[in-house]
Amino acid sequence: MSETKQVKVDQSPESQDRRKFLGGAIGLINAAIGIAIFGPVLGFVGGPIFQKRKKIWVEVIEEAELEMGAAQEVTYSMQVQDGYRKIMRRYSIFMKRSAGGVTAFDPACPHLGCRVKYQGDKERYFCPCHGGVFDEEGNVVAGPPPEPLKQYATKVEDGMIYIEKEV
C-alpha cells in the first residue's frame, strides 16, 4: 500500500522560470561547497610541489682522508627537513681526488634512481637495476640512462671538502 500521493505541480511559465533560476543557483552553491572542500585539501596536499629549494655548501670529508686516484664511496650526514621532522640524514657519494681537484658524483642512477656501484678494475660506474654504465667522468657509455651521473660542485676550505647541494 503506497502512501505516495500525486502532488500537483505548478506548471505555469513563471514557475518554470523560477525553477530554472533556483536550479542554477543550487548548482552554483554546490560548486562553491565543492571548492570549499577540495580547495584547501588540494593546496595542503600539493604543498611539496611549491616548496622552495636553496643551494647550500655541505661538509663531506677531510681532504687528507681521501686517497689520490681511484673514486671512493664516502658517507656524510647533513641536517634535512624530512617531512615533519628535522633529522641528520646520512648520504653516500662517490669522490675522486686528483691533481686537478676533487670530483663528486651522486650515486643515484639518473635512469630511475637505483644506486650505482663503482667498479675500480673496470674504471666505471655500473647500475645493477637496468644495466646502465658510466665512465669515470660520469658519462653514459651503455644502457638506458638518459643523462650522465649528477656531479656536485666542490670546494676545499681549511682542508675540508664541501659539496654544493640543493635542499
Partner 1 sequence: MSEQETQKVLTPETSVEAPKTKSKEDRLRQDRPSLGDWLELRLGWWGFVRKNLDEPMPAGVGWWQTLGNLLLTLMVFQFTTGIALAIYYSAGPETAHASVKFINEGVQFWGINWGLAVRGLHVYGSAAIVVATVLHIIRVFYWGSYKKPRELTWVLGVFIFFVILGLSFTGYLLPWDQKAYWATVVGTNMAKDVPVLGTAIQQMLLGGPEVGAATLSRFYALHVMVLPAALIVLMGLHLYLVRKHHIAGPVVPQKGKPKPFYPDQLYKDAWVVLGGVAIIIWLAVVYPPGLEGVADPTGVDFTPKPEWYYLGLYELLKIMPKELKIVGTVVIPGVISLGMILLPWLDRSKSRHPAMRPGIIIAGTFIILMIGFMTMKGVLEGGGGHEESESTEISSPEASV
Q: Cβ closer to partner 1: 37 or 112?
A: 112
Which helix (H) or strand (E) segment holds residue 31: the answer is helix 13-45
Q: Which stretch binds partner 1 (CB under 8 A): 11-19, 55-63, 112-120, 152-160?
A: 112-120
What gap in Å lies between CA 76 and CA 142, rounded to an integer?
A: 29
CA distances from 75 to 30, 44, 61, 134 (A): 55, 34, 9, 21
97, 110 contact by CB (below 8 A): no
Map the footprint of partner 1 across residues 128-167, applying CB under 8 A: 128-131, 133, 140-146, 166-167
What gap in Å lies between CA 14 and CA 83, rounded to an integer?
A: 58
Give me the long-range contacts of 9-16 (CB less than 8 A, separation at least 24): none
Q: Cβ closer to partner 1: 8 or 85?
A: 85
What region does 22 belong to: left with phi over 0, alpha with psi -120 to 50, or beta?
Answer: alpha
Work out whether 78 is an interface residue with partner 1 (CB under 8 A): no
Q: Which of 72, 91, 150, 160 binds partner 1 (CB under 8 A)?
A: 91
Q: Cβ closer to partner 1: 21 or 57?
A: 57
CB of 84 to partner 1, least distance (A): 6
Work out whether 79 is an interface residue with partner 1 (CB under 8 A): no
78, 165 contact by CB (below 8 A): yes
CB of 132 to partner 1, least distance (A): 8
CB of 30 to partner 1, least distance (A): 19
**Strand 117-119 and strand 85-98: pairing?**
unpaired
User: Which positions lie near partner 1, rule CB under 8 A?
Assistant: 1-2, 45-46, 48-49, 51, 53, 73, 75, 81-85, 89-92, 107, 111-117, 124, 126, 128-131, 133, 140-146, 166-167
